[in-house]
Amino acid sequence: MNPAVLLTGAAVERGGRQVVRAVDLTVAQGSWFGFIGANGSGKTSLLRALAGRLPFAGGSCRVGGEELVGDRAARALRFGFAPPPDKLPDSLRGRDVLEFTGGKMEEVRSRMGSLYVALGVAPLLDRWIGDCSAGMRQRIAIAAAFAGGHSLVILDEPFNWLDPVAAFDLRRALRERVDGGLTLMTALHDLNTLAAACDAGLMFADGKVAMTLSEDMLQTAARTPQAFERQMIDILRSETGG
């Protein structure tokens, strides 16, 4: 079976500067792949390029075996992607955002399954985005990534701004979806979620892969999360000179 995503030597430029360089990674189908790294290390730039929101400046990007490095539009169609919550237009309601990305609300609801409840979407449908809190915007943005029924989904720091119950429910619902075949890629700042929920991942430092986090490593991390946290903090600190 082809990997869901295979990057070789991938590069992304922003402001005329390469902010992602020489990235190799393999994301297995039906797995949850986590990206961690310091602020500014390149996670968002890489995820936006994968989702077709930015061009790649070099390398190869195979999605399900098909070379798409030069085809942003095809990548944008292939991935469900949560828009940055602070960029959602104030003048739309929750339902407008979801219908824009996924069509009829009944269809969006059935595609979302348990995520619809986990994200508490119903009370947000008729609320103006401009009247939403940061956590409410985040819920709508994540819902938008699932509204179209994609089997490949990219979420950039999905747990930011969520209250503890919403974060717990979302993590569980996402894990269930991955166990049901979804391929999920998330940037995370929370090492506990990385250890407890992800199947594999990598650590970014200064636009490059500083460390690959294998399935074995993350299984060990799930059993000994405190030791994993200590180890990751030490590595992140040394990578950033912090």
Ligand X SMILES: Nc1ncnc2c1ncn2[C@@H]1O[C@H](COP(=O)(O)OP(=O)(O)OP(=O)(O)O)[C@@H](O)[C@H]1O
Q: List contacts with ligand X (CB under 6 A).
A: 14-15, 19, 37, 39-45
| DSSP three-state, residue 69 | coil
Q: What whole-number distance in Å separates Cα of residue 203 and Cα of residue 191?
A: 11
- Give me the least distance between CB of 110 and ligand X, in Å please: 33
With b for 16 or more beta-carbon neighbours within 10 A and e for fewer, the 212-235 pattern comes to ebeeebbeebeeeeeebeeebeee
Q: What whole-number distance in Å separates Cα of residue 94 and Cα of residue 99?
A: 9
Q: What whole-number distance in Å separates Cα of residue 140 and Cα of residue 82?
A: 9
- Give me the least distance between CB of 41 and ligand X, in Å please: 4
- Give me the least distance between CB of 157 and ligand X, in Å please: 7
| DSSP three-state, residue 215 | helix
Minimum CB distance to ligand X smaller for 42 or for 148: 42
Minimum CB distance to ligand X smaller for 118 or for 145: 145
Minimum CB distance to ligand X smaller for 112 or for 232: 232
Minimum CB distance to ligand X smaller for 206 or for 229: 206
- Give me the least distance between CB of 240 and ligand X, in Å please: 11
